Chain A
Amino acid sequence: MKGLLEICYLIGSVTFIAGLKMMGNAKTARKGNLIGAFGMTIAILGTIFLFESNNRSALTIGLIFLAIVIGTAIGWWRAKSVEMTKMPELVSMFNGMGGACAALIGLSEFHHNLGHTKELSFIVAGMVIGTISFSGSIIAYLKLEGTMNKPIRLPKYNILNNAVLLGVLVFSIFVVIQNQTLPPVIIWLLFVVAIVYGILFTIPIGGADMPVVISLLNSFTGLAAAFGGFLYDNKPMLTGGILVGSAGTLLTLAMCKAMNRPLSNVIFGAFGGGNSSASDGTDVKGTIKDVQVSDLAVMLNYSKKVVIVPGYGLAVAQAQHIIHELEKLLEERGVEVKYAIHPVAGRMPGHMNVLLAESNVEYDKLVEMEDINPEFEQTDVVLVVGANDVVNPAAKTDPSSPIYGMPILEVDKAKNIVVNKRSMNAGYAGIDNLLFYNPKCSMFFGDAKKALTELVAEIKQL
């Protein structure tokens, strides 16, 4: 039966690669995900029924199915019930669960492999990486939830973190080498130290950078799974783990690139909420105009071309549906409407697309930054809703700004700019926005959902 199991594993490995590849294209993405899920099911069922073990018993099989039923029920329910704005939190949580699973495998296997250095190094590596991913993901989850909003900076945290990391490494090597002279309980101590490091690693990083951290922890869990694959010489664990490890790392770097910040800057931190001194120093000159809903309605109604710049503020206010209504209404009146999507709009790259797609905005109307930027010159009105840093001209003009160098949506080229915001508070990066003082710009204050509802009602009367 070993041959059949190997075929199951081959199917698993191939579907992971093919599935992930298909997920890179909008047309095939959904199918790709389902193919991956199919391969996973084959690999899991194959292991349960065909894996050779002397301790196989009806009790364990029953317990395995019970655990799978419990996990499926909770996972399915959470995945289906969560609001789409909360999705980054959920991904973080699921990632943490995978990390914890890897950690528990290491904790279980340690005692059985005393004296085998090669196996123990895989076990300890998988356990430590899985644990860091677990505790880091939980902190990331809490930060995104808002429970732990502010970055917590212990004094000299960079030195402290690196010291703890070094400690974890030395301790791990020590445990592997000295395993026969140490009490086996030592692995639990290492587990605790790894938990502490995961927490220390994540707490100094601001909420805005959490997606990058989640993506990084995602590749950590992949790596932990790969070490499990080495231990058992299990091909789907190896393929899946290494695949996610390398793809996840690349994705992390791509996210950093979209924000024009090196990864080291995210981890060792310059901004992400803590440093606001640079922004306070910026002298802001000029005045801010605001626009009344009736004037804005007329302005939009008689425009030829309107570009909407949605930001996370739009999602928080649950205004995705009303913005779609506004778009449809304007299109009926003969106005060309498009959405300009900054790569980091929302809380994750592509998050805004998901949120707008949820309210049935057509995929073709969502235009990426590089494609929309040349169009702003022919745009009559840019309506910025709940976005801030991604339209801040300081990214191009002010070398002292923490977001300097980040590519932005060049909305200041449009004929008119209208910004909907709740208040004059700074954006996620904690810096003032010079755009608001641009003579072409006017502010449309209010909660996005409420303000846009009024706007739609006003346009309907025209």
Chain B
Amino acid sequence: MEIFDFFVQNREMIYFIILAVFVGIEVIGGVPTVLHTPLMSGANAIHGVVIVGAIIVMLDTEPDNIFGLALGFLAVILGTLNVVGGFVVTDRMLEMFKKK
């Protein structure tokens, strides 16, 4: 049975995914609506971690593969926009929540 083989081979990964899903739900649960917008923005910044993949693409590309480098270059710019823009705008929002 191929499906069982797949499960056996990827057991750690499957456990990892399930636990991560629960962590995600747990982390958000019970957050006051007041914080929904900053939280969404913060989560937005965190998925910017996709930039790590873009960097790997560039590192793996042969230095004479101009097209490949160009794609990777663009991907890194976009990923950085997501990360930096996301964290900075979230910080700007949260700065305003300072309690007196």
- Interface residues of chain A, those whose CB is within 8 Å of chain B, are 12, 16-17, 19-21, 23-27, 29-30, 32-34, 36-37, 40, 43-44, 47-48, 51, 53, 55-57, 59-60, 63-64, 66-68, 70-72, 74-76, 78-80, 82, 84, 87-88, 90-91, 93-95, 97-98, 100-102, 104-105, 107-109, 112, 130, 214-215, 218, 221-222, 224-225, 228-232, 234, 236-248, 250-251, 254-255, 258, 341, 343, 346, 348-351, 353-354, 357-358, 362-364, 366, 368
13 example contacts (A-B, Cβ-Cβ < 8 A) are as follows A19-B42, A20-B28, A24-B35, A87-B89, A97-B79, A97-B85, A102-B53, A104-B57, A229-B53, A242-B21, A346-B37, A353-B37, A357-B96
Task: Determine if A94 and B27 form an interchain contact, defined as CB atoms under 8 angstroms apart.
Answer: no
Please, which residues of chain B bring their CB within 8 A of the CB of A29? 35, 38, 94, 97
**Min CB gap B80→A, angstroms:** 3
Please, how many angstroms separate the alpha-carbon atoms of A12 and B50 in the complex?
12
The answer to whether A82 touches B34 (Cβ under 8 A) is: no
- B23 CB to nearest A CB, Å: 6
Residues of chain A with a CB closer than 8 A to B76's CB: 64, 67-68, 71, 101
B32 partner residues in chain A, CB cutoff 8 A: 26, 368
**Range of interface residues on chain B?**
35 or more
* 0/1 string, B14-49, CB within 8 A of A gives 1: 001100111111011111111111111111111111
Q: Which of B36, B41, B53 interacts with A105 by CB under 8 Å?
A: B53
Chain B contact surface mostly: helix
The reply to whether B55 and A47 form a contact with Cβ atoms under 8 Å apart is yes
What chain A residues lie within 8 Å of B81 (beta carbons)?
71, 74-75, 78, 94, 97
Q: Which residues of B contact A30 (CB under 8 A)?
A: 91, 94-95, 97-98
* Contact yes or no, A354 B46, CB < 8 A: no
Whether A101 and B51, one on each chain, are in contact in the complex, defined by CB atoms closer than 8 angstroms, is yes
Q: Which residues of A contact B35 (CB under 8 A)?
A: 23-26, 29, 350
Which chain A residue lies CB-closest to B95? A30
CA distance in complex: A91, B7 (Å): 38
Nearest 8 pairs of A and B residues by beta carbon: A71-B80, A246-B24, A75-B85, A357-B96, A75-B84, A349-B36, A67-B76, A98-B82
Contact for B39 among A24, A100, A104, A242, CB less than 8 A: A24
Name the A residues within 8 Å of B79 (CB-CB).
71, 97-98, 101
Tell me whether B20 and A243 are in contact (CB under 8 A). Answer: yes
Q: How far is the CA of A63 from the CA of B23 in the complex (A)?
A: 36
Name the contact of A95 in the complex, choosing from B33, B34, B44 (C-beta under 8 A).
Answer: B44
Say whether B47 contacts A105, CB under 8 Å: no
Interface 1/0 per residue, B52-92 and A, CB below 8 Å: 11111111111100001101111111111111111111111
| Nearest chain B CB to A392 CB, angstrom units | 19
Contact status of A255 and B36, CB under 8 A, knowing A32-B42, A224-B50 = yes
Q: A246-B21, A247-B43 are in contact. Are A109 and B57 (CB under 8 A)?
A: yes
Residue of A nearest to B96 (CB): A357
Known: A70-B80, A218-B47, A243-B23. A60 touches B89 (CB 8 A): no
Would you call the interface of chain A mostly helix, strand, loop, or mixed?
A: helix
- The answer to whether B40 and A98 touch across the interface, beta carbons within 8 angstroms, is no
Contact of B53 among A17, A225, A250 (CB under 8 A): A225
Neighbouring A residues of B72 by C-beta, 8 Å: 63, 104, 108
Asked if residues B27 and A247 are in contact (CB atoms below 8 Å), the reply is yes
CA distance A221 to B78 in the complex (A): 13
Given known pairs A71-B78, A75-B84, A101-B51, the reply for A349 and B43 (CB within 8 Å) is no
Bound-state Cα–Cα, A240 to B46, Å: 6
